[in-house]
Amino acid sequence: MSIEAVVDLRSDTVTRPGEGMYDAMRNAAVGDDVYGEDETVNRLEIVAAKLLGKDSGLFLSSATQANLIAMLVHNARGEEILLGDNYHIYISEAGGTSALGGVIMHPLSTDERGGLALEQVLGAIKEDDFHLPITRTLALENTISGCAQDPAQHQILADAVRQHNMKVHLDGARLMNAAVALAVEPTDITAPFDSVMLCLSKGLGAPVGALLCGSTEFIQKARRLRKQLGGGMRQAGILAACGLYALDNNIARLSQDHDRAKRLAEGLSEIDGLPVRCETNMVYIEPKAQHHEALYQYTLENNLLIGKQGLPVRLVTHLDLDDSGVDRAVSIIRSFYRHADS
């Protein structure tokens, strides 16, 4: 089957560069970034730091690498981070923080929108006892499973843990989705944090990369760790140019993804017995257990790609999806349920 015939709702990571982004790559001024001589990378790091309200930035190959480096900067071996039990650092980064950094992850139960309560965070901070690890960092996330988190609550949590000499990190893989959904500036979200990670290869549509931003001292340490982890890149301006294009052109348009997610959710909500929820660019459906595998196979056979994860099933809108693709997805899933219920 041709790639054009496929409607891909697995993730917003599946986007491909458009002509404008390819032009930016072709015209990028490049140098050796390990020597600090790639002017396109340097410009991206400056632009990102300003956008997120931090002193300095560092271009990295992936969001996972950026989160790992942030945890290694903030925490010594045997120290502890607090984070949500459904946060990406804990469940989807191969345990790198613990495996490579010797840092203990203490997961806390989140509410239905992925948030943490002040009382549970404070209650998890260890007392000064040599039997216990030192609780050094609080790692938060925005968005979480499509849910935009309240910046005011993050500010409350950050202010509280700083009284215990802790650092605060934001996994902001989709923080621009949160900013658009909340109609706030990115800095309104990032202000409480010592470090922030922004992914370029999800809704923003770049093929590769993430930014890690923080103080000048933090980024100096992060740059050394990037080298230790094999993350130094040479003429990386070709990739950085995609990031600059994405920041210039693909932030405001995230609202289109959100609108298409609502269109998708509304169409699927008409299916009896199929729970649907939607926020930002993610739609979650919860087919009955006996329908789960059959639905996956049916959509695959009809050129609709959906995630094969457990329930609920996540459907993600992105810049390579148009209204006709949304309508096709609704039609295919409705068709499955007509057969399933007959």
Dihedral (CA of 180, 247, 193, 66) sign: positive
Q: Which residue type is seen at 16?
A: R
Which among 193, 228, 249 is the end of a domain?
249
Instruction: Give the other-Cβ count within 10 Å of 5's Cβ.
Output: 9
CATH of the domain at 329: 3.90.1150.10
Instruction: Report the pLDDT averaged over residues 63-71.
Output: 98
- Whether 9 is covered by a domain: the verdict is no
Strands across the sheet with 313-316, in order? 276-279, 282-285, 313-316
Please give, one letter per residue, the 3-state secondary structure of 164-183. Answer: CCCEEEEEECCHHHHHHHHC
Report phi then psi at 185, rounded to 5: -75, 150
Q: Which domain holds residue 261?
A: 253-340
Contact 58, 211 (CB under 8 A): yes
On whether residue 298 sits in a domain, the answer given is yes
pLDDT in tens, 260-306: 999 999 999 999 999 999 999 999 999 998 999 999 999 999 999 99
Residue pLDDT, tens place only, 195-226: 999 999 999 999 999 999 999 999 999 999 99
Q: Report which of 40, 285, 279, 57 is spatially closest to residue 146, judged by C-alpha positions.
A: 279
Same domain, 49 and 29: yes
305 inside domain: yes
Same domain, 279 and 238: no
Which residues are CB-contacts of 342 (< 8 A; sequence separation ≥ 6)?
none
245 in the same domain as 272: no
Average pLDDT, the chain: 96
Give CA 206 to chain center in angstroms: 13
228 in the same domain as 269: no
